[in-house]
Structure 1
Amino acid sequence: MTFAVTPVSGVLPSGALGAVRPTEVADPASGAQFASVLGSIDSLQQLQSTSTDLALRAVTGDLDDVHDYTIASAQASTALELTAAVRNKAVEAFTEIMRMQA
């Protein structure tokens, strides 16, 4: 059985979560993958900040195109859901590893 993977291009900024690959094994001492995860979280915070700024501009009437806020809000929401799903899978994997050691 094969599965097709649909890219989520346009939803997250380039490189937001692209540096984390589950099949790659990195040198644990380098910490490069952990740094990329932190960069992904910074990217998520930036998306949420942009969405909040555009929401304030829309409420005060300073925003010319309300579609900009709608798009930014959808991007921030999707990025947050993706981040939460990745976190949940990581916790689930850790729990399973701990269960195997017991």
Structure 2
Amino acid sequence: MTSPIGGISFPSAVTGLAGVTGTDATDAVARTPAAGDNGFASVLVSSLEELQAKQSTSDGLAVQAASGDLRDVHDYMIASNEARLATEMAVTIKNKAVEAFNEILRMPV
């Protein structure tokens, strides 16, 4: 299984490091293309849209189950569990990102 996240591209504001001395990666950063269709932001947006779609599907099936229009309860249970797991994963990733950010802030300069 491969990860859909490609290489991380630096935004254009970070590529202006020409005046910085003592770094070997300045040329590599300047040549890095801006985030395109495969950038981290687009992967993040598509993941959140997929999460929203799973939750909407689960909500729609819940309404059908409550009104008696749902033929197979298994569909609702599967959609509900998929939405729950996707939400838990998104919250866990967010918590880890905040934890990493806080750890970076505590680093001595």
TM-score (norm: length of structure 2):
0.69
Across the aligned residues of Structure 1 and Structure 2, the Cα RMSD in angstroms comes to 1.7
Structure 2 spans left out of the alignment, 5+ residues: 12-33
Larger Rg: 2
1:46 paired residue number: 53
- In percent, how many aligned pairs have the same letter? 42
Residue 66 (structure 1) aligned with residue 76 (structure 2): no
TM-score (norm: length of structure 1):
0.74
Equivalent residue runs for 1:86-97 within 5 Å: 86-97=93-104
1:55-83 deviation line (CA, Å, top 9, x unaligned): 00111111100110000000000000001
Q: Which of the pair has the greater relative contact order for Cα pairs under 8 Å at 6+ separation?
A: 1
Which of residues 55, 74, 84 is equivalent to 1:77? 84
Matched residue count:
83
Q: Is the 8 A contact 1:19 1:33 kept in 2?
A: no
Alpha-carbon offset, residue 19 of structure 1: 2.5
Structure 1 spans left out of the alignment, 5+ residues: 1-6, 8-17
Alpha-carbon offset, residue 101 of structure 1: 4.2
1:22-67 deviation line (CA, Å, top 9, x unaligned): xx64112233101111110110000000000000011111110011
Q: Call closer, same or farther: CA 1:78–1:99 in 2, change over 3 Å.
A: same
Q: Is the 8 A contact 1:58 1:66 kept in 2?
A: yes
Equivalent residue runs for 1:13-24 within 5 Å: 18-20=3-5
